[in-house]
Structure 1
Amino acid sequence: MTTSPLTVVAEFRVPAENRDHFLELCTYDSAHSVADESGCQRFEAISPMDDPQTVILVEVYDDEDAFETHLATPHFKVFEVGVKELGVDLVSLRKTARIAPRS
């Protein structure tokens, strides 16, 4: 199975009082990832309509190396620190491979 592109799906549980600040961090990380990383194709934050304390990041990278590069960027470090400071819990992180459509 190919891992190019690599889609990363990260689910977070966010305390209600910190949701707005967490969404600001997501917006910051997303904007810099797409603008500053040639290997980042897409980066979105979504939330279930019936569960605002759950935030899911859907990120598409050229490959595993591009994702590893992302984890070393200054904007990711800001996000990582913010997650800890805001008491946000990482529920799951899944690395997925596209199976359809084939590119």
Structure 2
Amino acid sequence: MTTSPLTIVAEFRIPAGNRAHFLELCAYDSAHSVADEKGCQRFEAISPLDDPQTVILVEVYDDEEAFEAHLATPHFKVFETGVKELDAELVSLRKAARMAPVA
């Protein structure tokens, strides 16, 4: 089974009063990831329509190495610090491989 590209699905629970600021952090991290990291193909923040306190990040990287490089970037460090300051809870982080379409 291939792990290239690598999809990251990270689910967060956000206190109601911190949602807007958390989404700003997501937008900052997303913009810098796609623009500054050659191995980041896609980075989106989504939220279930019936659960605004849940935010799910869907990120696609060339491979595991590109994801590990992402974790070392200055913009990720800003995001990581913000997560702590906003009392956001990481509910789950899953790594997935694309099964279809086959490249």
Unpaired segments of 5 or more residues in structure 1?
Answer: none
Of all paired residues, the percent bearing the same amino acid is: 83
* Shift, 1:4, TM fit: 0.2
Determine the structure 1 residue equivalent to 2:81. Answer: 81
Aligned residues: 103
Q: Work out the CA distance in 2 between the residues paired with 1:2 and 1:16.
A: 38
Name the counterpart of 1:43.
Answer: 43
Distance 2:100 2:56 in 1: 21
TM superposition score normalised by structure 2:
1.00
Which contiguous aligned blocks of 4+ residues in structure 1 show a shift greater than 4 angstroms?
Answer: none
Hey, what does 1:93 align to over in structure 2?
Answer: 93
RMSD, aligned CA: 0.2
Q: Distance in 2 between matches of 1:102 and 1:77?
A: 34
Q: What are structure 2's unaligned runs of at least 5 residues?
A: none
Secondary structure in 2 matching 1:11:
strand
1:72 deviates by: 0.1
CA distance in 2, matches of 1:98, 1:41: 13
Please give the TM-score of this superposition, normalised by the length of structure 1: 1.00
Aligned to 1:58: 58
